[in-house]
């Protein structure tokens, strides 16, 4: 049984090839922002208020005018299905048992339609990386809506892929490159090879990015064939306005750290924002989200719903973000490590502990969140 983030992380390190583990675990550049991210959470102290038990209290939150059983969402993470066969299904099943919703990445291995069919009890959100071809992105939005996703999370902090030296060296990149080190790494993880790659091949193909348009779905080792499906390089507010026009459900902008951008998000009609440094994976000079969150909440908290993510390892970290003003938080690496280390049962167990930890932290803090 996995008891902590660190145990899950260590289990993941053993279970999957090093290149894939590093892809999940590491940060960008010199990893200064990744280090600072942890420190920022450790430094966020909550003076406990006494004699204010939360015993029996609900931990529900309200988002976009609706009740959510918990203030936790599984963050969109590309390629969870490479960790375990149908990893996204396993995560969605486990998360649903705990009243936690799941946001599927544009770059997931499974399509939004198959995830919705396979886990009908899951209430899905869809993440959008806008492609160069706005019509292709529009069609993905239509597919997500038809599959039942009611919230679209448009990622606005990634105008391009962030190059990471260790990624380049290992070959775990888009497209995947065969390197001697990479092959040795895979050979050392035969269970992963059988479970994920061979199982997929037995069904007829290597894992592909199934949310891409039919006929242009990049495979595990193939490049993105059409430049129309590259991340939109000059992503700007007009693009956001067009997405707002086309998407009829709730729209959340993910990756905001500046008060001015939060204001723009309100003006453009977003229903929510995620204050996020993308888990310290994009820009090594980005501030820690918890440092800027209170100012953003003060400015726009009355006009849209403010969520946050990055660096959450346990229920206490989630409480820190809630205490700093976030209505809900997203979990990225935590469920991925649990999935790698223990499959669906691993995610189930760790989320169970996560929720219990959160309740305990809430009780000790006496905080009103
Ligand atoms: C392996 C991995 C893949 C990710 N892929 C995406 C993605 O496809 N879209 C996106 O908006 N964010 C992506 N993220 C960022 C997460 O959504 C989230 O912002 C971040 O992981 C939160 O930090 P944490 O991992 O410390 O919890 C990814 C994160 C990881 C770890």
Instruction: Give the closest residue (by CA) to ligand 1 atom 13.
Output: 77
Give the per-residue pLDDT at 158. Answer: 94
163 in Cβ contact with 284 (< 8 Å): no
Q: Which atom of ligand 1 is nearest to the CA of 76?
A: 17
pLDDT tens digits, the chain, 369 residues: what are they? Answer: 899 999 999 999 999 999 999 999 999 999 999 999 999 999 999 999 999 877 778 899 999 999 999 999 999 999 889 999 999 999 999 999 999 999 999 999 999 999 999 999 999 999 999 999 999 999 999 999 999 999 999 999 998 888 888 878 777 776 677 788 888 999 999 999 999 989 988 887 888 899 999 988 988 767 787 889 999 989 999 999 999 999 999 999 999 999 999 999 999 999 999 999 999 999 999 999 999 999 999 999 999 999 999 999 999 999 999 999 999 999 999 999 999 999 999 999 999 999 999 999 999 999 999
74 in Cβ contact with 100 (< 8 Å): yes
Cα(33) to centroid of ligand 1, in Å?
Answer: 15
Interatomic CA distance for residues 338 and 308, integer angstroms: 21
Q: Which residues of 9-47 are buried (b: 16+ CB within 10 A; e: fewer)?
A: bebbbebbbbbbbbbbbbbbbebebbebbeebbeebebe
Residue 278 bears catalytic tag = yes
Cα(285) to centroid of ligand 1, in Å?
Answer: 17
Place of tokens 């403010």: 306
Instruction: Give the closest residue (by CA) to ligand 1 atom 11.
Output: 155
Please state the φ and ψ torsions of residue 222, each to the nearest 5 degrees.
-100, 155
Please state the φ and ψ torsions of residue 157, each to the nearest 5 degrees.
-105, 15
Burial class of residue 351 in the structure, from the number of CB atoms within 10 Å of its CB (0-12 exposed, 13-18 middle, 19+ buried): buried
SS3 call for 318: helix
Q: Which atom of ligand 1 is nearest to the CA of 105?
A: 8
Place of tokens 């888990």: 279
Burial class of residue 361 in the structure, from the number of CB atoms within 10 Å of its CB (0-12 exposed, 13-18 middle, 19+ buried): buried
Instruction: Give the closest residue (by CA) to ligand 1 atom 10.
Output: 76
Instruction: Give the closest residue (by CA) to ligand 1 atom 8.
Output: 78
The domains of the chain are located at: 5-125+161-237+309-365
Give the per-residue pLDDT at 174. Answer: 63
Give the per-residue pLDDT at 313. Answer: 98
SS3 call for 158: coil
Q: Which atom of ligand 1 is nearest to the CA of 108?
A: 8
DSSP secondary structure of 48-68: PPPS---TT----EEETTEEE
Interatomic CA distance for residues 265 and 268, integer angstroms: 5
Site to substitute for ligand 1 among 279, 280, 347, most atoms within 8 A of C-beta: 279
Q: Which tokens is 184 given?
A: 């040795």
Instruction: Give the closest residue (by CA) to ligand 1 atom 3.
Output: 77
Place of tokens 């951008």: 261
Cα(17) to centroid of ligand 1, in Å?
Answer: 19
Q: Which helix (H) or strand (E) holds 137?
A: helix 134-146
**Residue in 54, 85, 189, 278 annotated catalytic:** 278
Distances (CA, A) of 355 to 2, 111, 318: 14, 28, 10
Q: CB within 6 Å of ligand 1 — which residues?
A: 23-24, 75-78, 105, 107, 127, 155, 254, 276, 278-279, 281, 309-312, 330-334, 336
107 in Cβ contact with 79 (< 8 Å): yes
pTM: 0.97
CATH 3.20.20.70 fits 5-125+161-237+309-365, yes or no: yes
How does DSSP classify residue 82? Answer: G
SS3 call for 180: helix
Interatomic CA distance for residues 230 and 129, integer angstroms: 9
């Amino acid at each position: 049984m996995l008891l902590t983030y660190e145990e899950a992380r260590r289990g993941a390190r053993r279970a999957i090839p090093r290149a894939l583990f590093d892809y999940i675990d590491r940060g960008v550049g010199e990893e200064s922002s990744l280090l600072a991210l942890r420190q920022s959470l450790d430094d966020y102290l909550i003076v406990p208020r006494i004699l204010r038990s939360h015993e029996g209290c609900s931990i529900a939150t309200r988002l976009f005018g609706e009740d959510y059983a918990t203030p936790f969402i599984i963050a969109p993470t590309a390629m969870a299905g490479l960790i375990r066969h149908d990893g996204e299904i396993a995560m969605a099943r486990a998360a649903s048992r705990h009243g936690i919703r799941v946001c599927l990445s544009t770059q997931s291995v499974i399509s939004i339609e198959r995830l919705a069919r396979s886990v009908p009890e899951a209430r899905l959100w869809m993440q959008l990386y806008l492609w160069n071809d706005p019509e292709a992105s529009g069609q993905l939005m239509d597919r997500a809506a038809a599959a039942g996703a009611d919230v679209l999370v448009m990622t606005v902090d990634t105008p391009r892929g962030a190059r990471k030296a260790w990624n380049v060296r290992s070959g775990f990149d888009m497209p995947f490159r065969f390197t001697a080190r990479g092959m040795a790494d895979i050979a050392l993880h035969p269970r992963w090879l059988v479970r994920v790659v061979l199982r997929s091949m037995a069904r007829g193909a290597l894992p592909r990015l199934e949310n891409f348009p039919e006929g242009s779905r990049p495979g595990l080792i193939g490049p993105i064939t059409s430049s129309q499906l590259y991340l939109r390089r000059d992503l700007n507010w007009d693009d956001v306005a067009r997405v707002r026009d086309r998407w009829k459900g709730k729209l959340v902008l993910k990756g905001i750290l500046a008060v001015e951008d939060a204001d723009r998000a309100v003006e453009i009609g977003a229903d929510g924002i995620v204050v996020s440094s993308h888990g310290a994976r994009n820009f090594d000079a980005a501030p820690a989200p918890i440092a800027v969150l209170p100012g953003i909440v003060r400015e726009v908290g009355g006009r849209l719903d403010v969520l946050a993510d990055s660096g959450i390892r346990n229920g206490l970290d989630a409480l820190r973000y809630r205490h700093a003003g976030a209505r809900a938080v997203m979990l990225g690496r935590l469920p991925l490590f649990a999935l790698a280390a223990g499959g669906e049962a691993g995610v189930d167990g760790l989320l169970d502990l996560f929720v219990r930890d959160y309740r305990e932290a809430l009780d000790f803090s006496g905080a009103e969140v």
